């Protein structure tokens, strides 16, 4: 049965493996096609080198085709003329020597076949008689002006020819090359001009990449410092580049950070002032409404005043959360390096909300695996714990259970708060940390600031939070990680 099950599962695992491989290839392809400054600069360097080599090759090609290689050298003509004159009395040796010279010219030109349509032609006359023709099928070529390079058409092919003469025995030597682009001649034979380019380009890639990488090191320093910052860190960048290309960028970033910091400070000040100003009239309103409620026996009026008191409580809670939010956004730096017992803080807050839970029959189940010291600011951590536990009580049904657990995981203290309420849909688990955002399907009243305060406190304490489903059924499980103190 196990074999059958294994055989049945094998195709499924194969499909999953193929899917994983395909996804990995897609990720690699996306990273490759993603625009990169290093790749752009590297390609620019390679293009510049290729352009320089191309210009060099073009210069060589122009120089080679402006005047044919063979007919430009006068010493070659002197050698042939001297050979034909000195061996005039020995025709056999004369023919053999001229043939050797002809093969030498063919070898230097890069074409070893005398019958090739790209091979140069050598014709020698003596006393008006053609004594040597390197290609028997080639007709006699005559220049109109000795010593000049001329273009002569023979059939459908043009030749560039030059004839040199000597008065001794009326000897004439004509050398002609086909009028073709020597670029093709070079590729098909030795690749004299292209070979250095082909060889050098691959070896230029690594030095070019290394030079670009070293040149962009200050840029990476700016990127690393920016990426290492948290969302609440709006202090200017400490790295001050000396490069004129980077200095305006860093200056602009610092100006932007300064502007955002000043604006956030003004907004926090405005909200804090408004919250403080609202606290006094709300307290006065509550005192007056409670006094009026005690002085009347009319049931209708007492119900209206009870509604006013409930509205006053909601407004007071909103004001309190606004004040907590302002404190969590800007924790005094001198208050951070304080060792606090997270388990003791949670136990104290649970004891304070037991009355709120008992009024609705909610059971608080608390357990801790041991001491969990953390670095932090006391009031902010208390605010975070209060919001988590009070939200769990608020959204749990009457008679439900709220479970609070504290444990250690590696170098982190872990706080888990689990309720039996309606939970939060997965699509909204990121948005609930936004200020004033609330689940549209939620029937409970609230300000939408509780989880925003929790997230702000955790950012200040380098912690993190995760929302998940209650593993034992309906409800929400909130997990918070805080770095353990080593002091």
CB 396 within 8 A of CB 402: yes
320 and 336 in a single domain? The answer is no
Confidence of residue 9 (pLDDT cuts 50, 70, 90): very low
Which pLDDT value is given to residue 312? 73
Q: What is the domain-level CATH number for residue 339?
A: 3.30.565.10
Pairing of strands 401-409, 363-368: parallel
Which pLDDT value is given to residue 10? 47
CA-to-CA distance for 155 and 138, rounded, in angstroms? Answer: 10
274 and 304 in a single domain? The answer is yes
Confidence of residue 77 (pLDDT cuts 50, 70, 90): confident
83 and 114 in a single domain? The answer is yes
CB 369 within 8 A of CB 407: yes
Confidence of residue 3 (pLDDT cuts 50, 70, 90): very low
Which pLDDT value is given to residue 303? 83
In a domain, 443, yes or no: yes
In a domain, 233, yes or no: no
Number of domains in the chain: 4
Q: Which domain holds residue 288?
A: 247-324
pLDDT one-digit tens code per residue, 100-125: 888 887 776 655 455 566 678 888 88
CA-to-CA distance for 395 and 362, rounded, in angstroms? Answer: 10
Q: What is the domain-level CATH number for residue 98?
A: 3.30.450
Does residue 95 or residue 242 have the better pLDDT?
Answer: 95
In a domain, 241, yes or no: no
Does residue 240 or residue 33 have the better pLDDT?
Answer: 240
Predicted confidence (pLDDT) at residue 481 exceeds the cutoff of 70: yes
Which pLDDT value is given to residue 68? 59
Confidence of residue 66 (pLDDT cuts 50, 70, 90): low
CB 84 within 8 A of CB 171: yes
Instruction: Give the residue from 180, 199, 233 where a domain finishes.
Output: 180
In a domain, 57, yes or no: no
422 and 343 in a single domain? The answer is yes
366 and 459 in a single domain? The answer is yes
Average confidence score pLDDT of the chain: 77
Identify the bridge partners of residue 373 per DSSP, sorted by sequence position.
341
* Lowest-confidence region among 107-116, 182-191, 250-259, 377-386: 182-191
- For 370, 406, 413, the CA distances from 373, given in Å and listed in that order, are 10, 11, 8
In a domain, 457, yes or no: yes
State the sign of the Cα–Cα–Cα–Cα dihedral 417, 418, 421, 423. Answer: positive
372 and 320 in a single domain? The answer is no
3-state secondary structure of 276: helix
352 and 476 in a single domain? The answer is yes
468 and 341 in a single domain? The answer is yes
335: Cβ–Cβ under 8 A, 6 or more apart, which residues? 377, 378
Q: What does the block give as tokens for 22? A: 């395909």
In a domain, 409, yes or no: yes
427 and 446 in a single domain? The answer is yes
In a domain, 52, yes or no: no
For the segment 218-231, the average pLDDT, to the nearest whole number, is 78
3-state secondary structure of 220: helix
pLDDT one-digit tens code per residue, 452-474: 888 888 887 888 899 988 888 78
146 and 269 in a single domain? The answer is no
Instruction: Give the residue from 150, 180, 210 where a domain finishes.
Output: 180
32: Cβ–Cβ under 8 A, 6 or more apart, which residues? none
Instruction: Give the residue from 261, 292, 324 where a domain finishes.
Output: 324
In a domain, 226, yes or no: no
299 and 350 in a single domain? The answer is no
pLDDT one-digit tens code per residue, 41-57: 777 777 777 787 777 77
394 and 439 in a single domain? The answer is yes
Pairing of strands 363-368, 157-166: unpaired
pLDDT one-digit tens code per residue, 272-302: 666 666 767 877 787 887 888 788 888 888 8
């Amino acid at each position: 049965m196990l074999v059958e099950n294994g055989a049945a599962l094998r195709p499924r695992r194969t499909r999953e493996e193929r899917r994983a491989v395909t996804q990995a290839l897609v990720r690699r392809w996306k990273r490759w096609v993603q625009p990169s400054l290093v790749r752009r600069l590297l390609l620019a360097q390679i293009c510049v080198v290729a352009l320089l080599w191309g210009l060099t090759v073009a210069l060589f090609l122009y120089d080679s085709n402006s005047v044919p290689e063979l007919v430009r050298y006068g010493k070659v003509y002197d050698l042939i003329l001297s050979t034909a004159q000195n061996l005039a009395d020995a025709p056999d040796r004369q023919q053999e020597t001229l043939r050797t010279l002809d093969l030498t010219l063919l070898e230097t030109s890069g074409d070893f076949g005398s019958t090739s349509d790209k091979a140069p032609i050598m014709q020698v006359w003596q006393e008006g008689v053609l004594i040597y023709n390197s290609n028997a099928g080639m007709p006699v070529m005559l220049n109109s002006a000795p010593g000049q390079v001329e273009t002569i058409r023979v059939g459908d092919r043009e030749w560039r020819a030059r004839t040199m003469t000597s008065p001794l025995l009326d000897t004439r030597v004509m050398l002609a090359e086909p009028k073709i682009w020597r670029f093709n001649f070079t590729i098909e034979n030795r690749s004299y001009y292209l070979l250095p380019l082909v060889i050098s380009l691959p070896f230029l890639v690594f030095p070019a990449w290394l030079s670009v990488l070293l040149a962009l090191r200050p840029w990476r320093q700016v990127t690393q410092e920016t990426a290492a910052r948290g969302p609440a860190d709006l202090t200017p960048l400490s790295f001050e580049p000396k490069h004129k290309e980077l200095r305006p960028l860093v200056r602009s970033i610092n100006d932007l950070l300064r502007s955002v910091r000043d604006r956030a400070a003004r907004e926090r000040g405005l909200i804090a002032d408004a919250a403080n100003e609202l606290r006094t009239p709300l307290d006065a309103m509550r005192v007056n409404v409670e006094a009026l409620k005690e002085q009347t026996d009319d049931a209708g009026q007492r119900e209206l005043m009870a509604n006013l008191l409930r509205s006053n409580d909601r407004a007071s809670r909103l004001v309190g959360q606004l004040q907590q939010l302002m404190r969590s956004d800007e924790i005094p730096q001198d208050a951070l390096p304080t060792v606090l017992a997270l388990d003791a803080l949670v136990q104290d807050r649970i004891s304070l909300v037991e009355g709120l839970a008992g009024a609705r029959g909610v059971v608080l189940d608390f357990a801790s695996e041991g001491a969990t010291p953390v670095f932090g600011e006391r009031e902010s951590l208390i605010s975070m714990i209060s919001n988590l536990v009070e939200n769990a009580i608020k959204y749990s049904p009457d008679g439900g259970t709220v479970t609070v657990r504290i444990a250690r995981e590696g170098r982190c203290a872990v706080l888990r708060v689990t309720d039996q309420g309606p939970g939060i849909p997965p699509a909204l688990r990121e948005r609930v940390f936004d200020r004033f955002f609330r689940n549209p399907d939620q029937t409970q009243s609230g300000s939408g600031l509780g989880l925003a305060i929790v997230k702000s406190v955790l950012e200040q304490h380098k912690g993190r939070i995760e929302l998940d489903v209650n593993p034992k059924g309906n409800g929400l499980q909130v997990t918070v990680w805080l770095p353990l103190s080593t002091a």
